[in-house]
Amino acid sequence: MVTFTGLGSLPGTDMGAALRMTFDQVAALPYLPELPARGPWAGMIGRATGILAGLSADYAAGEWRLAATSGMDQRRARATWRDDLEQLEEAAEGYSGPLRLSVAGPWTLAASLFRPLGGRVLADRSARVDLAQSLAEGLHQLIEDLTRRLPGAALTLQIDEPALPAVLVGGIPTEGGFFRHRSVDRADAVASLDLLCDLGVPSVLHCCAPLGALSLRTGSLHVTRDDDRESATPGLAGLSLDQDLITDWDGLGEAVEQGLTLYLGCLPTSAGQVLGADALTRRVLAAVRPLELGPAMADRLVLTPACGLAGYSPRAVTSVFSVLARVAERVDSELRS
């Protein structure tokens, strides 16, 4: 049935309170939230440096750089991860069901991290391969840790790649800002992402920038299909996209027919306001009804905000989840009628 969830970031600095809200209000698809208000080590890039295995990083003058030794903020990122997992274990004691974990993907990380002597990691093929492998190894360890702590949880990995479209078309500026990095070969892009899609848990690729729906559904990135779910190695199980930025609806419909789950960012977040349930229901149905998939779409549709909710107040976040819950129920009924 149609359900709903959040995407990652929430307001505030209290992880215990954020976890309680998540498990209470998004009970069908809870997730480990991100709280970037805690500091740069808790933002998307800083949090990812806390996972890296065998690579050190430092934060200075508003930029993250690879370094010979771990800086204070990377150490904080790692300590924050340990504390967050302990609080998650306490909040979800005895929990059995789906649980989503999010992390910056290898290409957004390569576009955001700088090398020790200057220039983005993105410019150095060897460095970005090392970075992707380090991220995958660290995530493997993290997933093993979470599995030990919460054996009843069915983990899904959300790979956040807001910079991926710019990476693919050569739109990332150089350090000086006067030039752009060369576009990355599609095979290289798939190879690095595939490292994260081969960690033993299903993966969802999230991008809140314009991304052709099927542009990465090639090569070894594969869909977990209903008819071989028991035997298939979990791979790319879903796409999480901003509804307003989807251009290839026909291709996306074909992917859903083949088993892909669509996390539809239907609730706009740029204005900081929350649409009412009636308006949001009409908005969702106007997008998915023309695909004429009916119950098949209902079974693989998850409604989400368009992006994270770190800029919202706790009261507004509660409103977002309340609206999404009502809309998910209505859309499910309409698609099955």
Domains of the chain: 3-336 (3.20.20.210)
Contact predicate 30/100, CB 8 Å: yes
Among candidate residues 37, 39, 45, the one with its CA nearest the CA of residue 13: 37
Strands of 113-114's sheet in order across: 56-60, 63-67, 113-114
Q: Cα-flanking dihedrals φ and ψ of residue 3, to 5°? A: -135, -170
Cα–Cα dist 316/150, whole Å? 30
Contact predicate 310/10, CB 8 Å: yes
Distances (CA, A) of 103 to 157, 325, 335: 8, 25, 32
pTM of the model: 0.92
Token output for 189: 């892009």
Token output for 187: 């095979």
Contact predicate 255/213, CB 8 Å: yes
Token output for 6: 């959040």
Token output for 127: 């460095």
Cβ contacts of 14 within 8 Å, gap of 6 or more:
35
CA angle 4, 10, 11 (to 5 degrees): 145
pLDDT tens-digit map of 279-314? 999 999 999 999 999 999 999 999 999 999 999 999
E strand spans, the chain: 3-4, 56-60, 63-67, 97-104, 113-114, 153-160, 203-207, 236-242, 261-267, 301-305
One digit per residue, pLDDT tens: the chain, 337 residues?
A: 999 999 989 999 999 999 999 999 999 999 999 999 999 999 999 999 999 999 999 999 999 999 999 999 999 999 999 999 999 999 999 999 999 999 999 999 999 999 999 899 999 999 999 999 999 999 999 999 999 999 999 999 999 999 999 998 899 998 887 889 999 988 888 889 999 998 999 999 999 877 654 444 433 344 333 444 333 334 688 999 999 999 888 888 888 988 899 999 999 988 667 889 999 999 999 999 999 999 999 999 999 999 999 999 999 999 999 999 999 999 999 999 9
Give the 3-state secondary structure of residue 135.
helix
